[in-house]
């Protein structure tokens, strides 16, 4: 028999408004939306909780945290993938683009090795086996300052569910780390670098950028086209950066570091994505533009949990309060990211869309996930 679920007496967050009513799920689709406070026999009484589309996460480093829970600790990948998947489901995320670095530096002083192809294969195998609760796509973070970017990207193809390729230029002294003191604090805290090691690290990255940067950028742009993936920029800082991104065919701006860049993105028709941790903390840990300032200026389109999965729903609710429009706030983590990634079958409570749905209440201003459905099946 076809699976049916009715979520009743709920505040339904529709694309442009909130209504009290019932949401009917049938099979893997949304079958109907009805206003009213009644609770039919067999329905789940939501008691006035919010019911929204499942969250869509375009950029999270959470999987990398699971495969390396401590520096130089390599955790079994299958176990890490299953734990990561369960954590996201519990946070209300029903679609994720898992960020994986491509571009390594095996011969450098701060040696780091390729891992993305092997991890992606394991992820896709688990997906095919039905072992994962939510929908997974790949997000390849193309490290321009590296030795091995072309060969690592060439190991992927159109069958790999690569949804996003982001151009990551971490050359010290520009973009995210214009302030070298912020970079020094970051790497010293993360890997315990001495001052001499930090100076050497900066010089090495600059040399890699000078030697490979332009060619690597061209290769990454071409690879994204070959995969059929959305191309994203990362940490655009100036209007000139945005112009170059637009010329490359970028369709998503990840974490622009200044209001100047965000405004240039708006003028170029490129959606702006900011980190939910930045919004919740009230500022960037790198000293860049605050997400709340862009939100107040009407320049924020999409939120990403970045490195804290639970931040995604909390950030969206915060935006809903800031804008006095919960539908607009939730759209930054549902409809807007789905549209940016080219997913037209999810991201909104509309009849016929995928039945990816969450129910949540609030306690002391913190959203509490009460239920998560993916394609109509309850997963959390």
How do 18-26 and 29-35 pair as beta strands? Answer: antiparallel
What pLDDT band is residue 17 in, cutting at 50, 70 and 90? very high
Residue 30 confidence class, pLDDT cut points 50, 70, 90: very high
Residue-range domain boundaries for the chain: 1-54+346-380, 56-344
Q: Per-residue pLDDT tens for 344-353?
A: 999 999 999 9
d(CA 307, CA 186): 14
CATH assignment of 1-54+346-380, among 3.40.640.10, 3.40.190.10, 2.60.40.1120, 2.30.40.10: 2.30.40.10
Cα radius of gyration rounded to whole Å, the chain: 21
Binned at pLDDT 50, 70 and 90, residue 175 comes out as low
| Cβ-contact 274, 300 below 8 angstroms | yes
Spatial CA neighbour of 66 closest among 110, 105, 123, 117:
123
Angle subtended by helix axes 259-268 and 239-248, to nearest 10: 40
Label residue 111 by pLDDT band (50, 70, 90).
Answer: low
pLDDT tens, 282-329? 988 777 899 999 999 999 999 999 999 999 999 999 999 999 999 999
Q: How many Å apart are CA 48 and CA 31, to the nearest integer?
A: 21
d(CA 209, CA 192): 24
pLDDT for 288:
87
Alpha-carbon torsion (88, 92, 97, 103), positive or negative: negative
Encode pLDDT of 195-252 as tens digits: 776 666 667 777 777 777 788 999 999 999 999 999 999 999 999 999 999 999 999 9
Mean pLDDT of 62-74: 90
> Residues, the chain, total?
380
Checking if the pLDDT of 110 tops 90, the result is no
Q: What is the DSSP annotation of 271-317?
A: PEEEEHHHHHHTS-TTS---HHHHHHTT---EEE-BT-TTHHHHHHH
User: What pTM value is reported for the model?
Assistant: 0.91
Domain spanning 56-344: CATH 3.30.479.30: no
The answer to whether domain 1-54+346-380 and domain 56-344 are alike in fold is no
**Mean pLDDT for the chain overall:** 92
| Mean pLDDT calculated for residue range 336-359 | 98
């Amino acid at each position: 028999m076809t699976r049916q679920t009715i979520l009743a007496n709920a505040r339904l967050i529709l694309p442009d408004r909130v209504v009290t009513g019932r949401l009917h799920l049938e099979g893997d689709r949304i079958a109907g939306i009805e206003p009213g406070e009644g609770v039919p026999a067999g329905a789940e009484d939501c008691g006035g909780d919010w019911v929204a589309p499942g969250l869509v996460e375009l950029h999270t480093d959470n999987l990398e945290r699971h495969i390396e829970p401590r520096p130089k600790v390599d955790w079994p990948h299958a176990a890490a993938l299953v734990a990561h998947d369960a954590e996201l489901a519990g946070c209300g995320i029903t679609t994720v683009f898992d960020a994986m670095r491509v571009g390594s530096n095996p011969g450098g002083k701060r040696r780091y090795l390729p891992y993305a192809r092997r991890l992606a294969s394991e992820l896709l195998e688990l997906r095919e086996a039905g072992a994962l609760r939510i929908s997974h796509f790949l997000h390849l973070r193309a490290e321009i300052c590296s030795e091995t970017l072309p060969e690592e990207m060439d190991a992927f193809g159109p069958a790999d569910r690569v949804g996003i390729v982001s151009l990551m230029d971490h050359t010290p002294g520009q973009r995210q780390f214009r302030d070298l003191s912020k970079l020094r604090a970051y790497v010293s805290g993360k890997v315990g670098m001495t001052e001499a090691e930090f100076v050497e690290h900066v010089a090495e990255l600059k040399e890699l950028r000078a030697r490979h940067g332009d060619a690597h950028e061209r290769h990454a742009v071409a690879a994204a086209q070959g995969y059929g993936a959305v191309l994203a920029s990362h940490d655009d800082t100036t209007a000139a950066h945005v112009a170059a991104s637009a010329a490359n065919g970028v369709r998503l701006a990840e974490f622009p570091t200044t209001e100047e860049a965000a405004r240039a993105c708006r003028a170029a028709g490129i959606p702006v994505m900011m980190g939910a941790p930045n919004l919740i903390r009230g500022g960037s840990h790198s000293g860049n533009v605050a997400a709340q300032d862009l939100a107040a200026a009407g320049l924020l389109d999409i939120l990403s949990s970045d490195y804290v999965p639970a931040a995604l729903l909390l950030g969206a609710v915060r935006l809903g309060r800031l804008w006095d429009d919960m539908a607009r706030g939730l759209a930054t983590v549902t409809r807007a990211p789905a549209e940016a990634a080219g997913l037209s079958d999810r991201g909104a409570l509309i009849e016929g869309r995928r039945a990816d749905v969450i129910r949540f209440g609030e306690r002391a201003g913190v959203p509490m996930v009460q239920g998560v459905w993916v394609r109509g099946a309850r997963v959390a």
